[in-house]
Amino acid sequence: MAFLQTTLTIVLLLASSGNGALHDQASSWSVDVFHRYMQDYQKPYAVGSDEYVKRLNNFKASLTRVALLNAQSEEENQRLSQVNDTIVINDRHRSSPGRPVYGINSFSDLSTQEFIASKQCMHRGNVSQFAGSSALTADEFMSKHADMVTPPDKWDWRNQSVVTEIKNQKSCGSCWAFAAIETIESAWAIKYSRLYSLSVQQLISCNIGTGNSGCNGGRYETAYNWLIQGSRKVDLDAEYPYYDSKGGVLPCREVETKSPVTLTSYQSILNISLATESGLLMRAVYYYGPVAIVVDAASWQDYEGGIIQHHCTAQSLDHAVVIVGYDTTGPIPYWIVRNTWGGSWGHNGYLYIEMNKDLCGLESSPAYVQV
């Protein structure tokens, strides 16, 4: 999609110029870019139809929003460079991410409201309501781990061959199930040195009637409880593959699984503050493996790479993702976060969020598992 990105850059430059003729030319070019977008992302809208006009207008709004976000990001990058007397690298393909970068992706033809509605997949509520006795306060967690060695300044579970490939929930509101399965996959691989790709669909179709609602949302805590209380094995993905049922729920089916994977326990952590965020979550990630969290992902529609440092609130905590690592060695310490929107979104399916700001609400209800 190099042509699309190159053309997009030209359009954004023209659109942001003060020259009226160039602005009009940018508007015309944006239609051409949209047609290339439809081709690249396999979205065959009928030219001239009401749906086409709607999606084109959304796409133009995305172009404007991306230009604004990148301008703000570059301005902040320059300010930090002067304050820190260092250059914050803007290159999402380097090992150390720099400032946040925004661009065009599969969500660029959605309005902001449509995007938010399509990604609401975590039921809201008090964490203790879902976790019950499996919840620890931040003080209890830190007291429990007081004698443990301080985690290293940098850790990435992807480098330990215990993280499966990036997956795509598509139009199903199943982020809760992906977060549950991904933490279990990694915990099992860490303990037994065997990485299995496990079935998300088992949770979506079979963990019904306990508060979880398949493609209409759920909680990873409820999924953990269901597996533990039923002493259930987690099916292999090859045995029970994922199906994007677009809001519906496929009937549960029993599988004679070859999977040995079971869940012993999990812990949710309550009352995390800015003062304890990095120390606590670093310990959870380093000692137990990838950690499930709930976030507000409303501002992620245009994210392409770099470290998110602003523009990410905690107003609507309704999306589940997994922290797989962290890095505190650079000028901006950050979390490495795994998403479920496919490998073409973000930085190969991942994003980076600055530490110690409770950005996106990631302090809200982290949970780790033990197998």
- Catalytic sites, residue numbers: 175, 319, 339
Q: Which of 8, 12, 4, 10 is nearest to 38 (CA)?
A: 4
Please count the residues of the chain.
371
254 C-beta neighbours (distance < 10 Å), count:
8
Instruction: Note whether 59 and 48 are within 8 A (CB).
Output: no
H-helix segments, 50-126: 50-84, 112-118
Instruction: Note whether 324 and 156 are within 8 A (CB).
Output: yes
Q: Could you give the CA distance from residue 364 to residue 293 in angstroms, rounded to a whole number?
A: 7
Q: What is the 8-class DSSP label of residue 235?
A: P
* Number of helices (H), then strands (E), in the chain: 10, 11
Both structure tokens of 291: 């950690």
CA 113 to chain centre: 18
> CA-based angle 198:201:202, to the nearest 5?
75
Tell me how far apart the 2 most distant CA atoms of the chain are, in Å: 68
Both structure tokens of 75: 């301005």
For 143, list phi and psi in degrees, rounded to 5. Answer: -65, -40
